[in-house]
Structure 1
Amino acid sequence: MQNMILNLYIVGILIVGIVSFRRIRGSEDFFVAGRKAGTLEVTGSLLATILGSSAILGSVNFAFGNGWAGAWFMLCASLGLTILYPLVGHLKRFKGYNLPGLMETFYGKEVKILASVIIPIAWTGIVASQIMGASKIIGVYTGLSYTHGIWISGLVFIAYTALGGQLSILKTDFLQFILILLGVVACFFYTSANFEITSSAPIINDSFGYGDLIIMVLTYSTTFFVGPDIYSRVFCARNEETAKRSILLSIGVLLPLAFILAALGVYAANIFPDLNIGEKSALMHLATDVLPRPLTVVLYFGLLSAVISSADTTLLTAASTFTQIFTGDLKERKAITVTRVFIVIFGLLSILIALKLQFILASFFLALAIYSGAFIIPCLLGIFGYRAHKSYVIAAIVVGGATALYGKLLGGGNANYYIILAFILNSAILSIPIVKRGSFKFKKPA
């Protein structure tokens, strides 16, 4: 029965991809859904993109080991969206399709090419983290091995995204978000009604201090006001007002959800104090050992929806940005074909990473560290009108990204200092032209 339900779910997703494939009339449909998305579509897509396996399973696992500090994942996401809100007007005036294209308008073609190389590499790690999450969910639900789950989920992601692009993503994201919300909220109410929290660490504690919070803001919150996936949602909105309403609605959902996810982790820690979350996620353990079967099924498919809705957006972002290196402009018809080829390539690379690296948050935060250290400051300054010669911007991107990557690979307590150093070096390099000129070179955004 479990396999049959899973198969029907997968077939339904692929049918949406096929229907969307037939409705694509040009590059604008494939990459930004024709810029016609309404408030519910954009809100659902924003939330479904944010609430991937790394966010949901990661938040619960983090709360399992660190108490109420697990709420910071979604709180930091809300902070990032809050900062994004006043930037929407600048972004909606941009008529391109993605963040590297935006960088080209600020600093030139060479910067766009560099962004189109680095972002797909980093985002492949995020896609891999979603595939890992999907495999764990499929394994618990059906009993299939981790390897089989990786291949099933990975190939479905690839086919679904390649067929319909942004059209298929937006069509299903709102429904997937509803499934996510139903599953998580049902699990929370059942758990809270049947168990008590006897002990838990506060939201700031010995294992997660203010320094850790600063790093999370730098590497996580920033990707919500300067992020390829989030910007792609904004570009799909039919107008500025639609995008702004969607952001406010998303914040309104994420704030309570932050504490719901943290509560689930705290409950799991109280119920299963000896659980090894490296082998089985805390939320999956609650599902199999605590929830009644009907709620378990709802939660499973909610989580699977979370993974799919986040992975497809991330995979399309990685492939479309890399395509620009070869086509120059995504508005050309051939860009769709080239992007589909790279969706397959990056999807397969993500599968291989997922097979080798089985720790969701490790893959997720490694990718975010590279991106944040490289692009947050140059892109944000560009939005506000800062202009500099491409050589300074390229140097800032390379030095910042490499420093953050080195810190994450180094690991240990010093890793956080390297991420802070990445932002400092990035800012210092970009400040050189200002020092030389003696003033800030400002150009009103187009």
Structure 2
Amino acid sequence: MFLLAYVAVLFLHAWFMARRRPDKDTYFVNGRRSSAALVALSIVASCVGGSATMGMAGLAWQVGVPAIWWLMSGSLGLVLLSLFLARKVRRSGAMTMPEMLTTFLGAPSRSLASVIIVTAWLAILAAQFSALATIIAPLANIEKNTAMFVGAAVLVGHTLAGGQASVMKTDIWQFGILLLSLAIALLLALHFGGGQALSAVRLEVFNAQFPISKLRYFLLILGGSYVVCPMLFGRMLTARNERAARNGGLVAAAGLTLTAALIVALGIACRDLVPAGTAPEQVLTTALLTHLPSWAATLILLGIFSAIFSAADSCLITAASVCSNDILRKPGVKMCRLCLILLGIMGLVLALPGKGILSLLLMANDIYVCGVVIPVFTGMLLHGKVHFHPWGMALAIVGGGGLGLTAALTGVSDWSFAGLAFSLVMSLAAARRFPRPARTAASAQADPGI
């Protein structure tokens, strides 16, 4: 009943947005009229998806407080983005992140980065479809594959109607449902005996279960994906001005930190409620099904559903926008909708059982961060001070991404760090100082040093 009402509201909103017939600016960048508060709320809602909610709670159940780095690394990356790049992002007037790269890195980088982004975000979308099915199946009492089709249909239909404008409007109340459900879950976990585990916890940056090598990986790889992210760039492109983009990012970083603390506290509180040997990603659902009253379990499952949905629709509109605007070079509403439908179908196929979604997700993230983040950050940061050889930056993307792929295939994180180092060295090697303007005879005579 609750799920049906939820879906009905989503389709009602989609119908309303479709009737307004959004133009290109509205569909891609919400008409560039978002306030700092809307930018911040939408960023947090999009970043706190199912993996962050269930995954971080399970990690906290295992390792304690250091699990907070799952989102804290993203908060730090978002601070870097807000302080150093946000104004340049908004000032560009682009529709997508790759569109900016022609100016900052050179034309070849736009196509290369676009292919990597669509591939990576398609894997993320497939993972979100799979996560949606795990929530819809018990709520609707249907088989998992059927639940996956239902979730994909609702998600694609909702996003198709209004694009970025539709996604950002629903982000607000979806994140509200998530926060309410997490707060209720924590209070009930404490009521049923989880307070003792929480009071005994040690405040640690790392520990034996979460060594410093893992912290380094979280900060560089996960954190790096927030410094240069097409989804976050897309949110900042919707801001009404440069100040709203910058302030929205900084507020979102604070919001991510507070949300991370709430999820970690909930995961630790489940230690005395969930039996040993439980799969970490099932800690929340196991605790809900065995200890909480049915009304609370339903509300919290809807909260997790909201988290997954708000991340998945952001992922879908990001991938479709890049596909139409930067790969096909046809930035219209109709083409974006066609890409959106195609990517939705491809994500659904990838999400079917036995497709190895988690490994594909990690592989895509390694390729993206090692190949794209450093060249884009370097190019945007130094823009106006130096110019970059286009094919040198393209080599930085390809080489770094290749080493990231090696890390994903071998499971050796050192290859990821090698990929980051390679892309940094190649980006700097591709930099050239602007030539000094030629002196005229008049300027030479006016200069007393000549």
Could you say whether these structures have the same fold, taking a TM-score greater than 0.5 normalized by the shorter chain as the test? yes
Report if the CA contact (8 A) 1:54-1:360 is conserved: no
Q: Kindly tell me: are residues 357 and 163 of structure 1, through their superposed partners in 2, closer, same or farther at Cα, counting changes over 3 Å? A: farther
- For 1:177 and 1:377, the matched residues in 2 are separated by 31
Q: 2:123 aligns with which of 122, 125, 147?
A: 125
Match in the other structure for 1:320: 321
Percent identity between the two aligned chains: 26
**Which has the higher mean CA deviation after the structures are superposed, 137-146 or 219-228?**
137-146
* Structure 2 contact 115–327 (Cα < 8 Å) conserved: no
Name the residue aligned to 2:403.
403
In the TM superposition, 1:32-431 aligns within 5 A as: 32-86=29-83, 87-195=85-193, 196-198=195-197, 202-277=204-279, 281-325=282-326, 327-328=328-329, 330=331, 335-356=332-353, 362-384=359-381, 385=383, 386-411=386-411, 415-431=412-428
One-letter identity of the residue aligned with 2:239:
A
Q: Deviations over 1:10-36 (max 9, x none)?
A: 121122122212224421010001001
Provide TM-score, normalisation by structure 1: 0.90
- 1:197 CA displacement: 3.8
Deviation at 1:358, TM superposition (A): 7.5
Greater mean deviation of Cα atoms: 40-49 or 136-145 = 136-145
CA RMSD between the two structures = 2.2
Q: Is the 8 A contact 2:99 2:326 kept in 1?
A: no
CA gap 1:13/1:78 in 2 versus in 1, 3 angstroms: same
Aligned counterparts of 2:272 and 2:178: Cα–Cα separation in 1: 24
Distance 2:61 2:349 in 1: 29
Contact preservation (8 Å) 2:123, 2:364: yes
- Cα 1:433/1:360, change in 2 over 3 Å: closer
| CA distance in structure 2 between the aligned counterparts of 1:222 and 1:88, rounded to whole angstroms | 15
Structure of larger gyration radius: 2
> Contact 1:80–1:224 (CA<8 Å) still a contact in 2?
yes
Paired with 1:24 and 1:252, the residues of 2 have a C-alpha distance of 35
Q: How many residues align?
A: 428
Deviations 1:155-211 (A, max 9, x none): 211111122101111111101110111111111122123323446674411222111
Name structure 1 gaps, 5 residues minimum.
none
Deviation for aligned residue 1:109: 2.7
| Residues 120 and 361, structure 2, Cα contact 8 Å, conserved in 1 | no
Letter in 1 for 2:396: A
Instruction: Select between 20-29 and 355-364 the one with higher mean Cα deviation.
Output: 355-364
Deviation at 1:356, TM superposition (A): 3.3
Offset of residue 257 of structure 1: 2.2
Structure 1 residues 362, 282: closer, same or farther in 2, change over 3 A?
farther
3-state SS, counterpart of residue 67 of structure 2: helix
Which stretch shifts more, 380-389 or 162-171? Answer: 380-389
Q: Is the 8 A contact 1:169 1:313 kept in 2?
A: yes
State which drifts further: 185-194 or 248-257: 248-257
Tell me by how many angstroms 1:264 deviates.
Answer: 2.0
CA contact (8 A) 1:32 1:166 kept: yes
How far does the alpha carbon of each residue in 1:309-334 deviate from its partner, in whole angstroms, 9 at most, with x for none? 1111111111111113454252xxxx
- Structure-1 separation of matches of 2:365 and 2:435: 29
CA contact (8 A) 2:379 2:388 kept: no
Q: By how many angstroms is 1:39 displaced?
A: 3.1
Q: What amino acid does structure 2 have at the position aligned with 1:416? A: S
Shift of 1:395: 1.1
**Secondary structure of residue in 2 paired with 1:93:** helix
Q: Deviations over 1:205-232 (max 9, x none)?
A: 1222111111112221122221011111
Unmatched runs of 5 consecutive residues or more in structure 2 = 437-450
In terms of mean alpha carbon deviation, does 137-146 or 75-84 score higher?
137-146
Cα deviation, 1:22-79, whole Å, max 9, x if unaligned, reads 2244210100010011233222211110111111111112222222222111211211
- 1:6 counterpart residue number: 3
Q: Which amino acid aligns with 2:190?
A: S
Deviation digits for residues 348-399 of structure 1 (CA, Å, limit 9, x no counterpart):
1211222235877544433221210111111111211153122111111111
CA contact (8 A) 1:24 1:30 kept: no
Mapped partners of 1:206, 1:143: distance in 2 = 41
Cα separation, 1, equivalents of 2:394 and 2:182: 43
Aligned mates of 2:354, 2:428 — CA distance in 1: 38
